[in-house]
Structure 1
């Protein structure tokens, strides 16, 4: 019964994830193409830096502000038309070039075209002033947007959750995942002085600007995803400490609601230390030492905002006190701390160029759970956990989505992607080699946007094993290979069906002794020393088996 309840709750969570307005589209529009593709009005310029300033009004649920975008001209063979994304009901009020020259613009729903005729500078900046009522998140982070809510004492609490629906729900930007501001970003928030404003990275200043208002400026020096920039505004207090990591002292910071101070010290700090030690072992040094590591109390669920992770797990173990593997092992650690922190390596440092390849973020972050469990519990506990999550696989959509329209793959990128990586690790059959592949990925693609093919090719090359058919099968189809076999005396005959063309995969067989075979689509046979008393596929392989 406990297993059934956990699976039911996980499916509810995954269904909510799929209910994001941006991702749950059955009818694609011209706006989807404008948002998801490299248009002529986008390709000629490269974002270098965002300097965002906002002033939210809690009572009216409006914001006004501006974003100064520093950019590089990639080609002067352009018409000087710049595409900026800002979603309704927000609107652009005015635009100025760095030389203070006013810029004209026109609007096509959520896309704004700025007219920059005669623009020739290699590096320039533009400031976009905007205002209005941002799209409100109905159920963050799944139905994303701006969050206006109150804490348990009825005090204002504000933040943003916009992965999928897009950062352009709350600030004007080039809302394209492949173009991160490589020099970093800053976020300045003007708020009532009864509240505290927290952002990504480090605090540059906190200023009292009048008798009732304060200004906070936060900044990062690393490249950052548009959707990973996030304001947090509420009754926060801070806990600081220093962790001695692979690159030396790492500033750890916890911004928690004042009434969570004691719980955070006893629950969050020890688990962050364990997570950091495990992940630096498996993935290499934390990728944002310059910006520090921070967890911030947030309404809703949780989100991998870079160097400022949103935490909403209520200071309990499991995933909101549920173990969706149904094994009990998931209740021994805080899922949100482990999973969202893993995204600092996979999602924030290594980022998919296109949301269609979001599996790169989620599958690796999900498999981080298993490596964490290996370190602090046992290898068998991790195996049982990953096998238990198969009950949540729906096989209704491929894990890779549709390119150039912002369409993510199906929710199976979480449990199915985790199981695919588990098989790859099992086939490599050398944990130190597997670890070096993960560390190497984080060096090779450090602070970069990547494609699925780059990740596939890297794993194939460094492992010395061609996993191409396995990637095709588990990422690009909804079919699960079926292992057909029959035993006649001491002869084993076997093959795969329900698979992609030319599919083959090493499989570990458990009989009187274990052995490895490599089935293909064609029948093969193997002479055993004697007729086995038992014979089955090792449970670590996510396939189905049929004995004929």
Structure 2
């Protein structure tokens, strides 16, 4: 389609912003009907951004491949947008044959599409997208200004999904084969986006930026717009490929951006050594300075931590979002119920990186800081069909996917050892034990996938571990009872399975291990009043009354 045709829609004028629709506010609504019966091998999105009206307009040209015969197509799109046109192939769809009253855009097809037969579908839309209230946690589009008063725009849609600003199938398991993203912004603004830059051209008073990405996940498709400058360097990988490192930053932040590119190079060295190759080295490792804190957009992570130095020598936000290139963008959860795979493993990479870069003390210090934010009031993996609420401050699931997930990985490290755990994570992430650049494709995973892979790696049945930590709300509790010189240890969990977590006990200068095969065990002291310490290296995630009391303290006191 010609460039002029792609940008034929006119942005609407500014108007009062309606409330976000219920369906649009929730990502990963189960795939049912036509939404679950299509593949998207190629999508072209041409989006015009009008900062003065806080509006966008666009054309989506999608190659749709049905997996079964379809008489309808369905896409997710916020109902606040006006649908300007719908085409199936070259045929215009009459206005009476499509509707989007609640955010489920349903198109009655002129004729049924057979299974496996690709068809080109074009959707034009325009309007004012929902403005983020507290990005990135309560998301949408951020309309801000630089210190010089120029437009500074970002998208942050993790919890809400891609339908916040473009027609898509809003589910974590859906990938686009190839995405061409053409973003038109007023000159001299720069649009930084996913993948590799194909070209940029001035069209009238706008500049069009053409980006192309392979296999993007939907919520990672992003617009980052500002009068950016670019800091750049290249990284020579241990795998023999060269990775372009790019940082789009505001004027005056060149020194900080170059410093963080150096940190990113170190982080690649660590991540590739521990887990495997950077998954998108054929495109770039990119960062864009944003007016909100940050988010993991594939190959163009959002960074808003203001280049502040830290006592441990690295920028935690840069490291966290960059680790998501492995655990979110290469490995993607099959549904939001398994979001801990993104956030928990990524959060664990922070103490791991500190251990690698600065030593064991910083690993332990970071793990203890994280332990204080484990709440465990609801299951970490909710039942299928039950959509969790990230922002529920009572349930605290939005904390646990980070910090409980990280502590579970810490405990697994103790249980199975590095020699089993890290190869299992590589298999989980790439689908192979021997990943190589140029031969990588993203994978979609569940918590049960992880269990099966880890069981294959260890040769052990770990259902008891996964049931207690992922599917039960209450953390395991360890009772320790003494009778004379005999200690009896007993685990308690809501699980139907005995919690067979071995427990270390330090007696004098010796650390002994109690097997706990059926959830309880015994160990003898040398004399009844001999001091002892259970779990002396704090390796096991378990209920801690002191942590709970601290969490429940009155903040006014």
For normalisation by structure 1, the TM-score amounts to: 0.87
- The alpha carbon displacement at 1:193 in A equals 1.1
**RMSD, matched Cα:** 2.3
Pairing partner for 1:372 from 350, 353, 357: 353
Structure 2 matches for 1:229-240, cutoff 5 A? 229-240=221-232
Say if 2:145 is the partner of 1:161: no
Q: 1:63 aligns with which of 56, 59, 68?
A: 56
Report what 1:43 is aligned to: 36
Q: How does 1:275-424 map to 2 (within 5 A)?
A: 275-317=267-309, 331-404=312-385, 406-407=387-388, 410=397, 411-424=399-412
**Structure ranking higher on relative contact order (CA contacts 8 Å, 6+ apart):** 1
Counterpart of 1:505 in structure 2 is 501
Q: How far apart are residue 406 of structure 1 and its match?
A: 4.4
Secondary structure (helix, strand or coil) at the match of 2:208 reads: strand
Call closer, same or farther: CA 1:73–1:522 in 2, change over 3 Å.
Answer: closer
Q: Residue 85 in 1 paired to residue 76 in 2? A: yes
- Does residue 1:536 correspond to 2:534, yes or no? yes
Output the CA distance in 2 between the equivalents of 1:297 and 1:107.
35
| Partner of residue 437 from structure 1, selected from 424, 427, 432 | 424
Q: Is the 8 A contact 2:24 2:160 kept in 1?
A: no
> Which residue in the other structure is 2:435 paired with?
none
- Once the two structures are TM-superposed, the CA of residue 83 in structure 1 deviates from its matched residue by 1.0
| Kept after mapping to 2: 8 A contact 1:34/1:111 | no
Q: 1:254 aligns with which of 243, 247, 252?
A: 247
The answer to whether the 8 Å contact 2:23/2:102 transfers is: no
Q: Distance in 1 between matches of 2:28 and 2:429?
A: 28
User: Cα 1:129–1:406, aligned 2, differ >3 Å: closer, same or farther?
Assistant: farther
* Conserved 8 A contact 1:204-1:219: yes
User: Is the partner of 2:426 in helix, strand or coil?
Assistant: helix
Q: CA deviation at 1:32?
A: 8.3
Deviation at 1:100, TM superposition (A): 4.2
CA contact (8 A) 2:157 2:219 kept: yes
Q: Please, which of 500, 508, 512 is the counterpart of residue 515 of structure 1?
A: 512
2:451 maps to which of 445, 450, 456: 456
Listed as ranges, the gaps of 5+ residues in structure 1 are 1-20, 319-328
Task: Give the match's secondary structure for 2:158.
Answer: coil
Aligned to 1:73: 66
Match of 2:185 among 179, 186, 191: 191
Distance 1:91 1:471, change over 3 A: farther
Could you tell me which of 196, 199, 204 is aligned with 2:198?
A: 204
Cα deviation for residue 527 of structure 1 reads 3.9
Q: Please tell me whether residue 492 in structure 1 is matched to residue 487 in structure 2.
A: yes
SS of 1:269's partner is helix
CA distance, structure 2, for counterparts of residue 33 and residue 283 of structure 1: 32
Change (3 A) 1:32 1:62: closer
Tell me, yes or no, if the aligned pair for 1:402 and 1:408 is still in contact at 8 Å: no
The alignment partner of 1:392 has SS state of: coil
| Structure 2 segments unaligned to the other structure (5+ residues) | 1-18, 391-396, 433-440, 546-557
